[in-house]
A and B are shown apart, each in its own frame.
Chain A
Amino acid sequence: GESVGLHLPTLSVQEGDNSIINCAYSNSASDYFIWYKQESGKGPQFIIDIRSNMDKRQGQRVTVLLNKTVKHLSLQIAATQPGDSAVYFCAEVSGNTGKLIFGQGTTLQVKP
């Protein structure tokens, strides 16, 4: 069946350091992925997406890497700030309807 999973439930980093959050997926036919950030009491917020025809995509302080060979993607956050503290989810976009299949999430804690 379909599944998307994150490697670590919690990641603690020092302010200013870079953060790397990992995610694995099982469906080799998956071709579109999205990273979401969810702060306490809020809905998931779109961060960045990537399609399978790309290996890397960059945004503002964020980079997503996709390795289709091992079915793995990662979210890199540069110069992590206290405002980056949240739960991060990777999600696979399934089919034409855009149904999202989420992993369990990684909680990012930023230490001052």
Chain B
Amino acid sequence: EIVLTQSPATLSLSPGERATLSCRASQSVGTYLAWYQQKPGQAPRLLIYDASNRATGVPARFSGSGSGTDFTLTISSLEPEDFAVYYCHQRSTWPPYTFGQGTKLEIK
């Protein structure tokens, strides 16, 4: 089973700042990595797939990068609605599909 480790667990930033979230895989997943955003009481929402492709309707301030075992989700300039929990997810080797434990992005 591929283990995904996200860091940091919590990130405290202010609106307008740049956010950098990390996801590290226990073995290579190629570019088969996705990122989701989840707000309290809501279902997850797809942001990024195949490591760097933005899903339909996702603002350009969200970008993904990386391959192999190291991946990054970057939010270039935080908007108030971006404060949420973010999960990475791998589809390289399955079953099982696995998720990271999440990074909580909170307002400083």
Are A and B a genuine interacting pair, yes or no? no
On B, residues with C-beta under 8 Å from A are: none
